[in-house]
Amino acid sequence: MREAKANLAINNLMKDSSKKFDGDKVVTQLQEIRTLALEEKDPTVVKICRLASEYIGAKGNFDLGYVAEEEIGDMTDLEYLLELMLKVDKPANREEIQEIRDKIKGEL
């Protein structure tokens, strides 16, 4: 994202969720990031934050299996999504966020 405030919110969520996954806290932080994305007029991030929040609310986790399926590394799906969001201005990252969006839609 473009604004430092938004990137700070994403980094804080990464830190918090790496210690312990608390679904309610993650959803609250995603809603804050969504609000910042609305201010930046970034519909991709707005949508993924909403869908990720809905997924966590429905499933209690964010275990999409995307990272394992794509053989990306040892990150969690949430960590990977947040990394993509930090550099959403790169077309490849935006495409991957949209792939994750489609995967979430298929599971909700």
Write the single-letter amino acid at 44. Answer: T
Tokens 């993924």: give the residue.
48
Domain count, the chain: 1
Buried b (16+ CB within 10 A) or exposed e, 18-38: eeebeeeebbebbebbbebbe
Sign of the Cα torsion 51, 53, 56, 61 reads: positive
Q: Where are the alpha helices (DSSP H) in the chain?
A: 4-19, 23-40, 43-59, 66-70, 77-86, 91-107
Range of the domain at 18: 4-107
In this prediction, residue 69 carries a pLDDT of: 81
**Cβ atoms of residues 30 and 13 within 8 Å:** yes
Whole-number pLDDT of residue 62: 95
pLDDT at 108: 87
- Rounded to two decimals, the pTM is 0.92
Residues in the chain: 108
Predicted local confidence at residue 70, as pLDDT: 80
Mean pLDDT by 10 residues, the chain (108 residues): 91 91 95 96 96 96 89 89 95 96 94
**How confident is the model at residue 81, as a pLDDT?**
96
